[in-house]
Structure 1
Amino acid sequence: MMTDKPTITYPCTWTFRIIGKNPSAIKHAVSTLIPNMDSYSLKPGNTSKKGNYVSWHLTLVVLSEDQKNTYKKDLLKQPGIHFIL
């Protein structure tokens, strides 16, 4: 059983999969946290079988693991966002 974390070299492009119920809430949360729309891309992903959840892919350059973790933590605090993968 391998427990070593993969080595990530920063800065790097990172994609978060954001899962919530309302696409508008996800778009609003991202634009609130990252106001410069030229610095990221946000594209629709999948919809759950019953249509209750949608996923969106947020891709941006992160400068460090701390920055990546901060983005994740701050996104999870936003209304309408249920999970981040």
Structure 2
Amino acid sequence: MNIDPFPKPFSCKEKPSIQYPCSWTYKVIGLNENALRQAIKTVTGDRNLLITRSHTSSGGKYCSLNVELVVEDDETRLKFYQHLKNHAAVKVVM
């Protein structure tokens, strides 16, 4: 029996089927709500979007925002994800 000593994280075996264009929501987590809002605007430009508060940690250190916008294709969806993830104000993007 061959057991992998380093199991890979859970992943989908098949790429999800997404019908574009579609509304997509990112959850963006960071330390400062205003900095997160500015990061979102920097990444998305003048796109029409909806930003709503999602949660603040019990200690008040972290906050999360939901960002809903229309994406035209896989490339655009992943580009926004990468740019948000790489922004200094952003700790996590889901």
SS in 1 for 2:19: coil
Q: Which of 9, 12, 17 is 2:19 aligned to? A: 9
Match of 2:50 in 1: 41
Residue correspondences, number: 83
CA RMSD of aligned residues (A): 1.4
Deviation by residue 1:63-85 (Cα, 9 ceiling, x = unmatched): 11111010010111212100001
> Can you give the 5+ residue segments of structure 2 that lack an aligned partner in the other structure?
1-11
Between the aligned partners of 2:74 and 2:41, the Cα distance in structure 1 is: 21
Q: Which TM-score applies when normalising by structure 2?
A: 0.80
Higher-Rg structure is: 2
Q: Which of 54, 77, 83 is 2:86 aligned to? A: 77
Between the aligned partners of 1:34 and 1:75, the Cα distance in structure 2 is: 9
> Can you give the 5+ residue segments of structure 1 that lack an aligned partner in the other structure?
none
Deviation by residue 1:10-64 (Cα, 9 ceiling, x = unmatched): 1100000000010011011111122325x11111101112221110000000011
Greater RCO between the two (CA within 8 Å, min separation 6)? 1
**Structure 1: 4+ residue segments shifted above 3 A:** none
Between the aligned partners of 1:9 and 1:35, the Cα distance in structure 2 is: 23
